[in-house]
A and B are shown apart, each in its own frame.
Chain A
Amino acid sequence: MIPRQYWIMTALLFLLALAMAIYVWQLRRREVLNSPPPATAQHVAPPAAGPLQQATLWVAYDKEAALHRERISIPLTSNQQQRAEELLRALMNRYAEKNSPHPIAAASELHDVYLVDPGLAVLDLNATFVDSQTSGVLAEELTLASIMETLTANIPSILRVKILVDGHERETLAGHADLSGAYDVAEVSELAKQLTTR
């Protein structure tokens, strides 16, 4: 024979669990109703902070399968991390233009650049940028060399570059170029020379 107080306690606990479930369900419903609509993914323009300065972009041209140096004036800060972000955003804007020589998806974005001592730059790109890459050894090399040469041409203290996608490691850029390790910019410069001397 089960004592009466156990029955009462069990019933109370059951009612409490039911009430909590209803409360959580209500909270979730309210959160869904109040949450803002998802923002349309758009390319982020370079911030207009800092004085206008001359910078060098190494731009990939798919038709020629080559890299070309271009000089631009953009606002650049003295902080190296922000400077790296501004340079890469300027490069991505160049690729997002209407008649881009190396087209990328409009929603392509650079999340962050982290400068880690000694001389390591960690770039965090979004998946859209990577997924919209033209797949192929040459095509992916153009992208990597363009990014790394642009960084090192303007920030010589960067010696190695590691690329993450949405904060995670990825095996390849678009099926070919290896992203598992950090790139030595001196080695990439050798590759870039081959891509500029056709």
Chain B
Amino acid sequence: MRLSKIQALGSGCGCVAAIFLCSVLVARQEARPSSPTSGQQTGARIERLVLIDPAHGGSDTGAMLNPAIPEKDVNLAFARRLRQELSNHGLPAQLLRDEDTTLTADQRAARVNSEHPTLYITIHSTSLGSGITVINALLPAVASTHGLFLPWQTAQSTWLAQSRLVSTLVTPTIERWGLPARLLLAPLRPLNNVTAPAFAIEIAPMNGDILQLASVEYQRLISTAMANAVVGTLGLLPARPGPIS
């Protein structure tokens, strides 16, 4: 009788362990990015990778900058140009979305965290303000003492010192290109959940005319300034700790 109880308990524990293992494997598979979009993907290890996230997309339009211009389209246009500019500097860059697809904040963070980028940049655009606002997560910075697991809502805390260092160096470089730039803290997801050096930028027109955000010249100026700023600071960050691409 006692033996059968122990056997039942053992098989129960086994089942629970098997279910846990399966769910971990499934979660890892789901977290893997579905469509890496980069110029350099196969074979060789990519030591440095910039992951660019055009915010919003699909059913999430973001702000309607005017009745015809949703924020999601402007963000994607800037992101594509920034990827091109970084590639011109020989720096591998990928987009988190390269088409009009809906991604939740959690899906974005999961993809970023599985990709282990050297730097994560999320792009927003707005009608308010002027030039570029460089944004870090509004979280308390903490030392890396969490061991294997990090609280999801504040996962960026451990990387906040690196993120702030990069943002502090990027901002004056942008200004040297004649663009107004300011640093800001913001409660913004998925920035809070990202386990890599990260910042967001919010791009506003310089002349108050929202159509400037859609102009090729302005997009080129912003992406050139951003690419130069990022290339100049990326050497301060450690190479990717993650898997071989």
Contacts and interface: CB of A to CB of B under 8 A. Distances in A.
A191 B124 CA distance: 18
Contacts of A181: 153
B126 A191 contact: no
B182 A198 contact: yes
Given A141-B184, A141-B186, A178-B187, A136 B126 contact: yes
B118 interface: no
Interface residues of A, number: 27
A183 interface: yes
**Residue in B62, B64, B139 whose Cβ sees the most chain A Cβ within 10 Å:** B62
Interface residues of B, number: 30
B17 interface: no
Interface of B: 56, 60, 62-64, 71, 124, 126-130, 133, 135, 138-140, 153, 182-189, 192, 200, 202, 204
A70 interface: no
Contacts of A144: 187
Interface string A139-181: 1010010000000000000000000000000001011111011
B62 A138 contact: no
A181 B188 CA distance: 12
- State the main secondary structure of chain A at its contact with B: mixed
Contacts of A184: 140
A190 interface: yes
A178 B150 CA distance: 19
Contact of B183 (A141, A180, A183, A194): A194
